[in-house]
Structure 1
Amino acid sequence: MVLTPFGKVFDAVRRFVDFTIFSSLTRRIVVLNMAGLLVLVVGILYLNQWRAGLIDARVQSLRVQGEIIAAAIAASATVDSDIISVNPDRLLDTQSGGVSPFSYFDPTLEFPINPERVAPLLRNLITPTRTRARIYDGQGLLILDSDNIYARGEVLRQTIDKSTGTSFFLADWWNALISWAPGDNYPTYQEYQADEGTRYPEVASALQGAPADFVRVDAQNRLVVSVAVPVQRLRAVVGSILLSTAPGDIDSIVAQERWSILRIAMIAAGVQIVLSLLLAGTIAGPMRRLSAAAERVQTAGDARAEIPDLSDRPDEIGHLSGALRRMTDALYNRIEAIERFAADVAHELKNPLTSLRSAVETLPLAKREADKARLNEIIQHDIRRLDRLITDISSASRLDAELARETAEPVDVETLAQAMVAIQKDIAAGRDVSVVMGKRSGRGTTLVSGHESRLAQVFANLIDNAVSFSPPGGTVTVAISTEGDNIVATVSDEGPGIRDAGRIFQRFYTDRPEGESFGNHSGLGLSISKQIVDAHKGTIKAANRTDRSGALFTIVLPRARK
C-alpha cells in the first residue's frame, strides 16, 4: 500500500509515540492517566464561564453603586438653572493642564451639579471601592474625576507598581500559556478629553436617561468595565456618572483563580502519578517477571525453568500466571514424553536390527540348506517386525496432531461397539473364539463428543487383544452401560488374566501367552488406546475378572452435553 505524504508523516509520528511513550507499560499508564487530568484542566480554562460571570457580577455591582452615588449627587445639586455656564478661557487653561480642575468654574455662576459640594461626597463613596468615577454634565463635559480629587493637605507621591519585578518562573510560564487561550474580543479602551464625554457610548446613553455598561481592554489587554448612570433631579437629567474598574482588576481575580486551579491540578497530578506508578507496579512488575521467566524457559536447556506463581492474585495477572505455568508444565511433559518415546523407539528398533544383522552376517557362513532356510526365516521375521514397528510408531507419533486437527462430533458409543463386534466376530471365528455384545444397562443416551474412527480403533485394539489371549472356545464380551454423566464400556475375555496391570499400558510392553511367536505384536496397541481415551477426557483401566479367570478392560467417557 502506497502512503500519501500526510500518511507517511502520521505513520512516523505514530511510530515515534509507540517507541517513546508507549514502549513501556508504566509510561503508558502514567501518560493516559495524566491525559484525562490535562483535558479536564484545559476544558475548565477554555470555557471561562466563571470569567464571564465575574464580569456580569461586576457590572451589576457598579450599576448599584452608580445609582447610589447618582442619588446622592442629585440631592446635593443646585436646581436654580438648567443651563451650565462655563468660562471658555478658564476651560482652555484647564485642558492645557495649567490650573486645578475646579478653577475653570466661575464661582459667580450657578451649576446644576456643584463640584465643590459633590467632590467630598464622591471621594468618601469612591475611595473604599477602588473604582474610578467621572461626572459629566448634560453636554458631556467632565466636571469631576475621582483620580484628581485630593484631600486638603494630602501629599502626592509617585505610585510604585509592586506587581513588577521577579516572580515565580512557573507562574510566568502559566500566564504565558493562558494568554494563548482564546477569549472574547473586546474593543480597546481609549481615554477621551474632558469635553468629549459623549464619545463614550455608555455616557451618551446615560445622558438620554438610560443606564448602560461597556467592557473594553486597555493596551496591555487588561479588562476595563464601565457603567454610566444618569444623574436626575425632578425627572430632569442634569448629568451622568461614569464608574469604571481599574485596569486589570478583574484579570487579577481571574489570574488568582487560574493559579488556584493550577495548584490543585499539580496536586492532583502528583497523586495521579503516584497512583499510576503503584498501579503499574502491580501490573508491569509481574509482567516483567513473567516475561523474564518465559525467556529463561527458551534458554534453559535441560534445566526446568519455573514460571513465577502469582495464581493467588484474583485478577488477570493471576490467571495469566496460572495459564503460563500450566502451559509450561504441559510443554515440559510433552518434551519428556517425546524423549521417552524416542528412547523406547530406539530400544525397540535395536532388537530386530541386531537380530537381522546377526542373521545376515551368519548366512554366508551357513553350509547346510536347513541352516540357510532357518536364517532366511529369521531375516523375513525381523523385516516384518521392523515394518510393523515402524507402522505403529508412525501411527502413535501422528496421533496427537490428528486428534488436535480433527473436529469432535457426536458419536454413539453403543452403535459403534455393535459395529466393531460384528467386524471382529468373523476374524475371531478363525481362532475358535466368540465375540458377543452384552446386555445394555442404565438409562439415557450413549453419545459422546469425539472422533469416531479413533474410538473405533480403541475397540478394535481391545477386542483383538482379548481374542489373542482367549483359549479355543472362549468368549469375548463387550458391554455398554451408563452411570450418571458417564458412559462405561467394558471388554472382558476368558484368558489367563493380567500379570502386571501397572505396566499394561506402557509403550512396547507385551506379555503374550506361551507358545505365541515372539515379535508378532509391537506392544503399542494398548498404549495408543490409552492415548486416544485420554484425548477424549476419559479413563481406561485394566484388571482381572473376579468371577473367573480373564482380563477386564473398562473405559469411562463423559457423556456429550446437549
Structure 2
Amino acid sequence: MALRLTLRWKLSAAIAVVSALVVVALSLVVHNAARVSMINSARDVQDERVQSALRIYETNGRLVFYAALNDRALPTELKDYAAKGQRATFVQQTRSGLVVWAETPAGAGKVLSLKTGFTDRYSVLIDLDRTLVLGSVAVVLGGTAIGVLVGGRMSRRLRKAATAARKVADGDTQVRVREAIGGRGRDETDELARAVDAMADALQLRLEAERRVTADIAHELRTPVTGLVTAAELLPPGRPSELVRDRVHALRTLVEDVLEVARLDGAAEHADLQEVALGEFVRRRVPVLAPDAAVTVAEDAVVQTDPRRLERILGNLLANAARHGAAPIDVLVDGPFVRVRDHGPGFPPDLLREGPSRFRTGSTDRSGAGHGLGLTIATGQARVLGARLTFRNAPAADGGGAVAQLLLPR
C-alpha cells in the first residue's frame, strides 16, 4: 500500500529539511569562527608569555612558565623559524587535543620555548558545540511544528473545499465552497474557492436554463398530445387504429417522463417519508409491476421512504429488465437492500462507467418502446429518497445478467 503524504506533512518535511540545512551551515560557520578565534587568542597569549619568560631568563637566568631551552620536542616548523632568528607560535594536533607552542631565540644558539595544552579553551569549544546542537534541534523542531500548524490549516481548508465541491457535483446547489472553508484570509485557497463557486454558479444557471427549456417544451406538448389521445380513441376499430393509439400512448408516456426528469433535475422534489416494511411492500408491488418476476425476502427491514417514489423506482427497474434483459427476473430483499436482476446481456459498458443518461438505451434499435429515461428517472427518484442506486453486471460464471441494487436508509 503506497504511503499517502498530505500537504501538511509535505510542508512540514520541507520546512524541517530547510531548517536543518540552515542551522547546520550556521553551526559550522560559528564553530569554525569560534575555533579560529580561540586558537588565535591562545597564540597571542603564548607569544606574550614566551617574551616574558625570555626577559626573566636574560635578567636572572631562571626559567619560568615551564619554559625549556633547546627542547627536543620542538616542532620542525618552529626550529626553522628559530634558525632564522625569528619568534613564532605553532598549533600542533595531538591525540589528546591541541597544543600551542611558542619559541624565541635566546642568544648563543639557544632557543627558549613554551608548550601549553589547549584543554581549557577546548572545553569551551565543546560546550559551544553542545549548545549549537541543542539550538539546532530546537530550531528544527520549532520549524516543523510551525509547518504542521500552517500545513494543517491549509490541508483542512482544502479538504473542506474538496468536500463542498463533491456535494456540488452530487447536485447540492446550496453548497458554496468559500462558505464551507471559512476564514477571512485572502490566500490561494480563497481564490480557488471563489473560482469553483463561480464555475458552479455558471453551470447551475446553464443547467437550470436547459431544464426550463425541456420542461417548457414537454409542457407545451402535453395539450396537443392529450388531444391526440382523445382523437385516437375515437378512431374506428382496426389494425391501423391500434397502431396509431399505440404510438400516441408512447408519445404521451415520453412527454410525462421528460416532465418528470425536468422536475427531478430541478432539485425541488421532496419525499413524503413514511415507515415502510420493505419485504411486504416488495411482495405486494412486484406481482403488479412484473407478474413473471420472482420475489425473495432474505431479511425484512423497516425503512424510511416515500412509497410512491419507491414503487416508481421498482417499476422502472423491472421494466428495464423485461425490455433489455431476459428471464428469469429475480427481486431480492436483504435488509435495506433491494436487488433486481435479469439474465440478459447485462448493462452496456458506458452505463456502468458514466451512469444512466437520458435518451441512451444501449441499443441501436430505435423502433422499441424504450427512450432511455427509465433508469435516469430511477436514479433521480433514489436521490430524492436519500437512497443509493448502483448498477453492475453479474459474472458470466454465475449466469450473467444486469444487476441493479437499491440501498434505502433505515
TM-score, normalised by the number of residues in structure 2: 0.49
Pick 1 or 2: higher relative contact order, CA cutoff 8 A, min separation 6: 2
Bigger-Rg structure (1/2): 1
Task: Pick the structure with more helix per residue.
Answer: 2
TM-score, normalised by the number of residues in structure 1: 0.37
